[in-house]
């Protein structure tokens, strides 16, 4: 269908509001990530069968299913609106528990049963598991696996930060790509405990953690909070909950750091490396770096 009017300031403002509400970069431009989010927002529960396929189904209806399952104690992983293997396993477990055919397909009968038992929902189980894992602590830095990822132009910065982290005995893999979804696939295949992503932002520097569909990564939020505190108030770095593809699609908790230009990145890189180590020591290992050493 042809557009009904020009892309004017009013439409641009509407796009910015949508991007802000979905945790995306507020460019006002309908790029590929924004367009995909618009399509996903159009799916309502019951519009289609939900099941495991490749490429995976994505949408607000999938997020509703993940929220419902997780709040009932069936762990679909984080609420990301992507129907993956963990969502299917949680769905099968729920269906088996309520006496439905355990086929991993969410249709009318499964939706009705989820709504029927919805009054008994509690905190999302995956959020609880992630938080308990963080609180357990007791690990050594040498036992923690970290991935440092970046836009291609910042690969050198990522390598420098990675070398600072390795000084403390931590295992580090550095990867670079301008495709955040590709980075997420690489990181997921690597299977780290935590990851960090470096990029640019023309709309103010920030450190972001995954937040989407009323779900927040507790470990990601604490890592991001520690980094914002370490960067100091003089830099005016914002702490943001976002749904950038690399944050949304990577299974491990992590944080995305965005600075205004290359000069800021190269001048801050050594300190960022040390701050990442301190944040990992505190959040993942349960102690400050000085206590670990």
All structural domains of the chain: 9-129 (1.10.101.10), 138-292 (3.40.630.40)
Long-range CB pairs of 58-64 (<8 Å, 24+ gap) are 58/82, 58/83, 60/213, 62/87, 63/212, 63/213
Residue 137, sorted as left (phi over 0), alpha (psi -120 to 50) or beta, turns out to be left
Determine the pLDDT at residue 120.
Answer: 65
Determine the pLDDT at residue 112.
Answer: 95
- How far is 217 from 194, CA to CA, in rounded Å? 12
Determine the pLDDT at residue 93.
Answer: 97
- How far is 84 from 229, CA to CA, in rounded Å? 35
- 3 state SS of 207: strand
- How far is 212 from 77, CA to CA, in rounded Å? 13
Sign of CA dihedral 162, 263, 200, 226: positive
- pTM (2 decimals)? 0.89
What are the residue ranges of helices labelled H in 59-140?
A: 60-71, 85-97, 108-116, 125-136
Determine the pLDDT at residue 103.
Answer: 97
Sign of CA dihedral 248, 250, 251, 257: negative
- Do β-strands 145-150 and 194-200 pair in parallel, antiparallel, or remain unpaired? parallel
Cβ-based neighbour number of residue 38 at 10 Å: 14
Tens digit of pLDDT for each residue in 225-257?
999 999 887 778 999 999 999 999 999 999 999
CA angle, residues 208, 214, 217, in degrees to nearest 5:
45
Q: Which two tokens stand for residue 232?
A: 């100091």
Determine the pLDDT at residue 2.
Answer: 47
Instruction: Name residues of the chain where pLDDT drops below 70.
Output: 1-5, 119-120, 133-138, 287-293
Q: How many residues does the chain have?
A: 293
Q: What is the DSSP letter of 236?
A: T
Cβ-based neighbour number of residue 202 at 10 Å: 9
- How far is 12 from 56, CA to CA, in rounded Å? 30
Residue among 112, 120, 107, 135 nearest 50 (CA): 107
Determine the pLDDT at residue 291.
Answer: 52
Determine the pLDDT at residue 214.
Answer: 87
At residue 140, what are phi and psi to the nearest 5 degrees? -100, 155
């Amino acid at each position: 269908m042809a557009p009904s009017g020009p892309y004017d300031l009013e439409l641009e403002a509407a796009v910015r509001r949508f991007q802000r509400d979905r945790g995306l970069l507020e460019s006002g431009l309908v790029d590929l990530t924004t367009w995909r989010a618009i399509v996903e927002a159009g799916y309502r529960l019951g519009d289609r069968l939900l099941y495991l396929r490749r490429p995976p189904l994505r949408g607000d209806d999938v997020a509703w299913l993940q929220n419902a399952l997780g709040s009932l104690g069936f762990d679909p992983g984080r609420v990301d609106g992507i129907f993956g293997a963990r969502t299917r396993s949680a769905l099968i477990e729920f269906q088996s528990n309520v006496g439905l055919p355990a086929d991993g397909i969410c249709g009318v009968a499964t939706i009705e049963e989820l709504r029927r038992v919805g009054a008994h929902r509690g905190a999302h189980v995956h959020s609880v598991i992630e938080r308990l894992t963080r609180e357990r602590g007791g690990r050594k830095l040498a036992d923690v696996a970290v991935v440092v990822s970046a836009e291609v132009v910042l690969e050198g910065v990522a390598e420098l930060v990675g070398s600072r982290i390795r000084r403390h005995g931590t295992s580090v893999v550095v990867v670079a790509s301008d495709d955040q979804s590709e980075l997420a696939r690489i990181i997921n295949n690597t299977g780290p405990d935590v990851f960090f992503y470096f990029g640019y932002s023309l709309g103010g520097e920030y450190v972001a953690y995954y937040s989407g569909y009323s779900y927040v990564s507790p470990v990601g939020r604490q890592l991001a909070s520690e980094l914002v505190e370490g960067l100091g108030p003089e830099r005016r770095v914002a702490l943001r909950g976002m749904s950038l593809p690399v944050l949304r699609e990577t299974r491990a908790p992590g944080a995305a750091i965005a600075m205004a230009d290359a000069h800021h990145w190269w001048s801050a890189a050594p300190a960022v490396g040390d701050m990442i180590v301190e944040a990992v020591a505190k959040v993942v290992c349960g102690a400050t770096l000085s206590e670990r050493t």
